[in-house]
């Protein structure tokens, strides 16, 4: 995911879906995980705690 940012506060929407490449990499790493395609044709991150790193700064979030 690439985002163009300007000096100051920047915001990027992310709908918690996998890209095709992201899903392929996730399935390689977690062979027993089953990520089902939803009715809208998208694959979403499973429930759990996640960490996002941007230029050395991290933030945690949870999908319930």
Query: Taking the domains of the chain in order of start, what are their residue ranges?
Result: 37-64
> Residues 19-44: pLDDT tens digits?
999 999 999 999 898 899 999 999 99
Predicted confidence band of residue 51 (pLDDT cuts 50, 70, 90): very high
d(CA 63, CA 45): 8
Q: Where are the beta strands (DSSP E) in 1-64?
A: 48-54, 57-63
Helix, strand or coil, per DSSP, at residue 27: helix
d(CA 46, CA 16): 9
d(CA 47, CA 8): 32
User: What does the pLDDT read at residue 39?
Assistant: 96
């Amino acid at each position: 995911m690439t985002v163009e940012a300007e000096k100051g506060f920047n915001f990027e929407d992310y709908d918690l879906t996998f890209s095709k490449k992201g899903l392929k990499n996730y399935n390689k790493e977690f062979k027993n995980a089953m990520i089902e395609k939803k009715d809208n044709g998208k694959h979403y991150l499973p429930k759990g705690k996640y960490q996002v790193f941007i230029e050395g700064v991290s933030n945690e979030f949870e999908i319930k």
